[in-house]
Structure 1
Amino acid sequence: MVKIRLTRGGAKKRPFYHIVVTDQRNKRDGRAIERVGFYNPVAQGNEQRVQIDTDRIQHWVGVGAQMTEKVDQLYRDAVKAAAQAA
Structure 2
Amino acid sequence: MVKIRLARGGAKKRPFYHIVVTDSRSARNGRNIERVGYYNPVATGGEQRIVIEDERVKYWVSNGAQMSDKVAALYKDHQKAAAAAPAGEAA
Which of the five TM-score ranges fits, normalised by the shorter chain?
A: over 0.9
1:38 has 2:61 as partner: no
Q: TM-score, normalised by structure 1?
A: 0.98
The separation in 2 between residues aligned to 1:11 and 1:83, in whole angstroms, is 32
Task: Calculate percent identity across the aligned residue pairs.
Answer: 69
Residue 80 (structure 1) shift: 1.0
The separation in 2 between residues aligned to 1:22 and 1:57, in whole angstroms, is 12
1:75 has 2:59 as partner: no
Where do 5+ consecutive residues of structure 2 fail to align?
none
RMSD: 0.6
Runs of 4+ in 1 over 6 A off after TM superposition: none
Residue 83 (structure 1) shift: 1.0
Where do 5+ consecutive residues of structure 1 fail to align?
none
The separation in 2 between residues aligned to 1:72 and 1:39, in whole angstroms, is 12
